[in-house]
Amino acid sequence: MKVAIQCDSPLLQRSLELFLDGHLSSIRQCDILIRDKDIRDETHPTFVIGTNKLSDLIKPFSKAQLLHALTQKFETLKQPVLPIEEEVLPSSEEGISFEILERHIDKLTREYQANILKAIRAFYEK
């Protein structure tokens, strides 16, 4: 995960630079942009730190809280939005087709596997 920091507060800017030393990048090459004001950018996903309840991270925070919140935001940005499949049950008297059930189980298994891998990555990245 590559982050760029663009804060009005010099103290917050420097603190974030120290906390995220291994993840810093230029604004052009970053995956996510951290700001202390809610200025949404169409070119980069924005992570807002502030006192507002709508912020992604509320001040004051610790390094662990920052890394956790950033990882969660980054993971939600990476995950493709899966379209909701419309499931139509057969109305014939032949019986219920198990293809729909199999597809649903496969989908749930993939989501479960992704969540487990995300938790393992978060544990070992600490």
Q: Which domain holds residue 44?
A: 3-78
> Which domain CATH number covers 32?
3.40.50.2300
CA distance 39 to 47: 10
pLDDT of residue 94: 46
* Confidence at residue 3, expressed as pLDDT on a 0 to 100 scale: 92
pLDDT at 126: 63
Q: 8-22: buried (b, 16+ CB within 10 Å) or exposed (e) per residue?
A: eeeebeebbeebbee
Residues in the chain: 126
State the pLDDT at residue 89: 47
**Of 62, 78, 94, at which residue does a domain stop?**
78
Which three-class secondary structure state does DSSP give residue 92? Answer: coil
- The verdict on 57 and 91 lying in the same domain is no
Predicted confidence at residue 82, as pLDDT, reads: 52
Cα 29 to chain centroid, rounded: 18
Q: Which residues of the chain have pLDDT under 70?
A: 41, 79-97, 126
Predicted confidence at residue 117, as pLDDT, reads 83
